[in-house]
Structure 1
């Protein structure tokens, strides 16, 4: 983290990224001294309520973070920043978003956890818009102009006041990741599954090392000591309870439970009760250390695409097993009336044999299990996410794949990603095709 003293002393000349979190209530004018180099400005965690009208003097500025501040309006000066493509104003008190605040190259907009009830029509006039984060606001509808955003791939609209998903949204040709939980339009979770989940007293759990932390909670390894039984290694996820970019963590917990059991999902052992701070949590099956994440989260530059290590390579057999496992898990979820909403490599654990687990239900949403345009469209939007994953696996197969086998997989990948949403195959069909390929000598 850079310091205000360093900035004022001229010690940061030439830097491309500046991070300042020191209780600022006014924008430091010394930032303009960095105009020849500054590309990323992070002012998260201050007390700012306005930005200077001449912000456009930062001619190289591409990324601006102003989350956890005191803005009540998205600053209009942003619209004059010619190179600005990513804007983050999460957890402010924003009520008004002027159309003039949206820069021409806008690609990624984060307005999570604010007080916004309406968005400007100009949002749909930003042709590069690819990622839109709007969870935790007061939106009653989305601007119809968004139907023109044919590059939009990820949208988070959970925890708003939407009563319907417009048909144009479900028909966007590149949309792959959609989260809409916690709106009046959403179907209810399966109450029988929630009621049948065992309650596990906090007193039976002994936390050990931390395994990881995400936007919605912290995961620890733990010992579960039940009366008259041997202690069992488990994973404990304690939810933070605050709004994330995907939606409500408590909704995520319900989705995990309702998903039920499947070989390619992490088993839920039960729900924690009697936590001393009344914190919500789940006890889950402990995953062997041989499993690792398939990919890392997208970067600022990749936007909606995961980052893979150069060393991540597969045999055709392993890649096909991963693809089949995830397709099977997604088919199971859809049968339960759940869309995962975040079907990505970074949410997949795998081992050297190709065993895999789909995790992180933070963006999951419930939909009707009856057949309808909306149900089919929601499921086929997720199919496009799978098609992108399949393409990433294909790029990393280094052995065991014949020319015929590659052609079959590339054809399936193309059909999963085609722009006509309802023309994509469903996961049941995808699973059958992948299983058929496993028996072919060409793979």
Structure 2
């Protein structure tokens, strides 16, 4: 398809296009792209063999989003700092070892799975920055200047070389989603685990797909029962290592509001890693969709979504009870989002996707961060509720306090929600 797109581009048939996707083995930036200088907003060059970008890239004056993942870049070309409208940049899974300059308009930066050992101090000038994806690099610290990035809400630091988390990071007023597993300072769990052999599974239709893996309906042959199977796509996900996710899933244990894990897969013919889960009935559906380019850090709900107050309360109580249990075990979920939750019409809910989960001990302030993500969830639910609850709004506002130490614990949240039941 992208080869056809390149042909259309070169023939002048894409005039006025706002998005362009080219994945066709490119080794050089096609100059014909500049024919779209007055209209192009999203440029996807992922999956090629590019190693640099042209010096006149700022001619694409409306360019907002640039994808250059899975190429041959060994640096992030500094010319992108001159693109005045760039708000989202992705250089995932290249060979990037050097980052020199970034556009101050940046909201969303993806540098996952590279060789970066430091970021420039100038990243502190990216004041709109909300989402920062740095898993799978060689970072030992972040620039102190980033303390000025007070709009940061989601940060992924898993599988780097941090010996501690930056103190300023835990004080950010809006930080809500944080992942840091696989660093030297992390407590890692490797307790007893159930193992299910690949030959005992028969895969059926695909149920869904996310950034880290593909979920299929399957049969557990020895027990003659339907299950769900998640196969991880690679050694590094946008959140961290599959091994960290599997360890967190198994350590979380059984909880009435967590999708039950039956075990990890052994003996996959391509050495892929995976999990076997209970198959959830069709009466459950995703609470929301993941964030869009525009919403950046907030989930997207179907238009016209209305949730009864009783169901909002049940969902909130269920998720608060899970989070309280996890933090009691020293586990931070890291991705407490509606798109990682299933619910039925009555408000029964199940939390899944532990891809961003991290083990911790002796680290103060992490529950304060996760409480803010719960506050975001509660706000989204109440905004779509069929009636107003002054008590729940008040709780939501406390969870979203700009001063992390003023937020309640999950245990307190659960007590207050129980009192409303």
- CA–CA distance in structure 2, aligned partners of residues 213 and 434 of structure 1: 33
Q: What is the CA distance between 1:334 and its match in structure 2?
A: 0.7
Matched, 1:53 2:94: no
| Structure 1: runs of 5+ lacking an equivalent | 439-443
Give yes or no for contact 2:212–2:238 (8 Å, CA) kept in 1. Answer: no
1:392 matched residue in structure 2 = 380
- CA–CA distance in structure 1, aligned partners of residues 268 and 74 of structure 2: 36
1:63 matched residue in structure 2 = 65
Q: Give the alignment of 1:262-273 within 5 angstroms.
A: 262-273=255-266
Once the two structures are superposed, residues 287-326 of structure 1 have per-residue CA deviations (whole angstroms, 9 ceiling, x without a partner) of 0011100111111111101110013211110011001101
Matched, 1:39 2:27: no
SS at match of 1:314: coil
SS at match of 1:93: coil
1:167 matched residue in structure 2 = 167
Which of 294, 297, 305 aligns to 1:304? It is 297
Which of 357, 366, 371 aligns to 1:378? It is 366
Summarize the Cα distance change of 1:30–1:279 in structure 2 as closer, same or farther, 3 Å threshold. Answer: closer
Which of 15, 22, 25 aligns to 1:23? It is 25
- CA–CA distance in structure 2, aligned partners of residues 274 and 68 of structure 1: 28
2:197 matched residue in structure 1 = 201
Give yes or no for contact 1:264–1:358 (8 Å, CA) kept in 2. Answer: yes
1:441 matched residue in structure 2 = none
Matched, 1:224 2:212: no
1:215 matched residue in structure 2 = 211
Give yes or no for contact 2:127–2:148 (8 Å, CA) kept in 1. Answer: yes
- CA–CA distance in structure 1, aligned partners of residues 269 and 97 of structure 2: 36
Q: What is the CA distance between 1:258 and its match in structure 2?
A: 0.7
Q: For the aligned residues, what is the CA RMSD?
A: 1.2
Q: What is the CA distance between 1:198 and its match in structure 2?
A: 2.4
Give yes or no for contact 1:201–1:272 (8 Å, CA) kept in 2. Answer: yes
- CA–CA distance in structure 1, aligned partners of residues 408 and 277 of structure 2: 32
Give yes or no for contact 1:216–1:242 (8 Å, CA) kept in 2. Answer: no
Q: What is the CA distance between 1:278 and its match in structure 2?
A: 3.2
- CA–CA distance in structure 2, aligned partners of residues 204 and 63 of structure 1: 44
SS at match of 1:250: helix
Give yes or no for contact 1:241–1:250 (8 Å, CA) kept in 2. Answer: no
Matched, 1:295 2:283: no
Q: What is the CA distance between 1:203 and its match in structure 2?
A: 2.4
- CA–CA distance in structure 1, aligned partners of residues 106 and 282 of structure 2: 40
Q: What is the CA distance between 1:279 and its match in structure 2?
A: 2.8
Which of 335, 342, 357 aligns to 1:342? It is 335
| Structure 2: runs of 5+ lacking an equivalent | none
Give yes or no for contact 1:109–1:133 (8 Å, CA) kept in 2. Answer: yes
Q: Give the alignment of 1:141-156 within 5 angstroms.
A: 141-156=141-156
Once the two structures are superposed, residues 6-47 of structure 1 have per-residue CA deviations (whole angstroms, 9 ceiling, x without a partner) of 111000000101111111111111111111111111111111
1:135 matched residue in structure 2 = 135
Q: Would you say how many aligned residue pairs link Structure 1 and Structure 2?
A: 419
- CA–CA distance in structure 1, aligned partners of residues 323 and 104 of structure 2: 37
- CA–CA distance in structure 2, aligned partners of residues 202 and 89 of structure 1: 34
Once the two structures are superposed, residues 315-353 of structure 1 have per-residue CA deviations (whole angstroms, 9 ceiling, x without a partner) of 110011001101111111111111111101110100011
Which of 407, 412, 418 aligns to 2:401? It is 418
Q: What is the CA distance between 1:134 and its match in structure 2?
A: 0.5
Give yes or no for contact 2:158–2:181 (8 Å, CA) kept in 1. Answer: yes
1:430 matched residue in structure 2 = 413
SS at match of 1:122: helix
- CA–CA distance in structure 1, aligned partners of residues 141 and 403 of structure 2: 24
SS at match of 2:243: helix
Summarize the Cα distance change of 1:9–1:159 in structure 2 as closer, same or farther, 3 Å threshold. Answer: same
Give yes or no for contact 2:65–2:87 (8 Å, CA) kept in 1. Answer: yes
1:115 matched residue in structure 2 = 115
- CA–CA distance in structure 2, aligned partners of residues 48 and 278 of structure 1: 29
Q: Give the alignment of 1:296-335 within 5 angstroms.
A: 296-335=289-328
Q: What is the CA distance between 1:225 and its match in structure 2?
A: 2.8
Give yes or no for contact 1:242–1:248 (8 Å, CA) kept in 2. Answer: yes
Once the two structures are superposed, residues 346-398 of structure 1 have per-residue CA deviations (whole angstroms, 9 ceiling, x without a partner) of 10100011110111111111101xxx5x33x1111000000000000001111
- CA–CA distance in structure 2, aligned partners of residues 80 and 238 of structure 1: 40
SS at match of 1:414: helix
- CA–CA distance in structure 2, aligned partners of residues 8 and 325 of structure 1: 55
TM-score, normalization by structure 1:
0.92
SS at match of 2:99: coil
Q: Give the alignment of 1:67-86 within 5 angstroms.
A: 67-86=69-88
Once the two structures are superposed, residues 164-183 of structure 1 have per-residue CA deviations (whole angstroms, 9 ceiling, x without a partner) of 00111111010000011111
